[in-house]
Amino acid sequence: MTAAPTLRAMPELPEVETVRRMLAAHVPGRRIASAAVSRHRLRTTPLGTLPKQLEGRAFAEPRRTGKFLFLDLDGGVTLLSHLGMSGRWLFAHAGEATLDPDMPHVHLKLDFGDGARLWYQDIRRFGMLRVVPLDRLANDPSVKLLGPDPLVEPPTAESLRASAKGSRVAVKTFLLDQRKLAGIGNIYASEILFRAAVDPRRAAGALTLAEWTRVAPEITTVLGDAVARMGTTFSTYRTIWNEPGQYGDQLLVYDRPGEPCRRCGAEVKRFVQGGRATFWCPSCQRGAGKGRKRAQS
């Protein structure tokens, strides 16, 4: 018996949308009086120039595409933010002592003149933070390749089939491709395919229209339900109030290897695709027929 490896929460679309909504309730109109950065850098981002780029600017309404946050500021720039694996935006009103001065891994501290504060914490430093002029955002290398956001443009069976045409990668891996759809990560990919009763090993380009017809609404439903519950927390993800998400109770297969399928009672299985864990019920997610094409990753 091999024990299941420890899983880490990673912010996907619902978690990032939760953060966006909470920030939208508190930061628009607030002006950054001072900004301080840690001596560390994030994986892809030096932080040194951030204070000069941020100080004096006021937040507008934050936006989001997929897992990217666009924290728009006045003066025609945006603070482009990706939470990576462990990034958190943490907010405190004036006088609230919820932000511990000794909290580790805080890389950016924004102080508004009135005592309110907004901190960025990122334990593993896989996140991204950079100031980008708005007129160059669409050409930013991280942004320009993003596919449609499923909550903005709900995918249809036809759009998914067209997007996957010719692709030999496994449908699970396909759902994780941010160039095809922006926002699905490892947790919700498994959940979506389970609920759609589609074998995660099937080649994306070989899915039938009937299968895509089951997948498309589950993308919208799963992501929407997760947003309504403020996302899923295993360990690191938190809202701006440092609270965990509540979608974990709704998970049907993710992180349940060896446990009974909630639908049929068969054993939930775990395997690795493209270096990422996939969870599924081989009984509920049988292939569409014998001899159907499977992909390896």
Partner DNA sequence: ATCCTATCCTGTAGGC
Partner DNA sequence: TGCCTACAGGATAGGA
Going 90 to 94 to 100 to 102, the CA torsion angle's sign is positive
Residue count, binding to DNA (CB under 7 A): 45
* Catalytic residue (choose from 20, 57, 64, 67): 67
12 is catalytic: yes
According to CB under 7 A, which one of 125, 161, 172, 195 is a site residue for DNA? 125
Closest CA to 64 of 76, 77, 82, 47: 82
Instruction: Give 33 or 277: the residue with its C-beta nearer to DNA.
Output: 277
Q: How far is CA 187 from CA 13, 176, 264, in A?
A: 11, 10, 20
Instruction: Give 116 or 181: the residue with its C-beta nearer to DNA.
Output: 181
DSSP3 helix / strand / coil % (the chain, rounded to 5): 25, 25, 55
**252 is an interface residue for DNA by CB under 7 A:** no
Closest CA to 50 of 67, 65, 63, 32: 32
* Beta bridge pairs of residue 271: 278
Closest CA to 182 of 38, 26, 12: 12
Binding string to DNA for residues 54 to 93, with x set by CB under 7 A, is what? ------------xx--------------x-xx--------
**173 is an interface residue for DNA by CB under 7 A:** yes
276 is catalytic: yes
Binding string to DNA for residues 198 to 217, with x set by CB under 7 A, is what? -------x------------
- Concatenating the DSSP letter of every residue in 232-248 gives --SSS---TTSPPPSGG
Q: Which of residues 224-243 bind DNA (CB under 7 A)?
A: 235
Question: 264 in helix, strand or coil?
Answer: coil
Tokens matching residue 247: 């979608």
Binding string to DNA for residues 27 to 56, with x set by CB under 7 A, is what? -------------x--xx------------
Catalytically annotated residues: 11-12, 67, 276
Residues near DNA (CB under 7 A) are: 3, 5-8, 10, 12, 40, 43-44, 66-67, 82, 84-85, 104-105, 123-126, 128, 141-142, 145, 166-169, 173, 176, 178, 185-187, 205, 235, 272, 274-277, 295-297
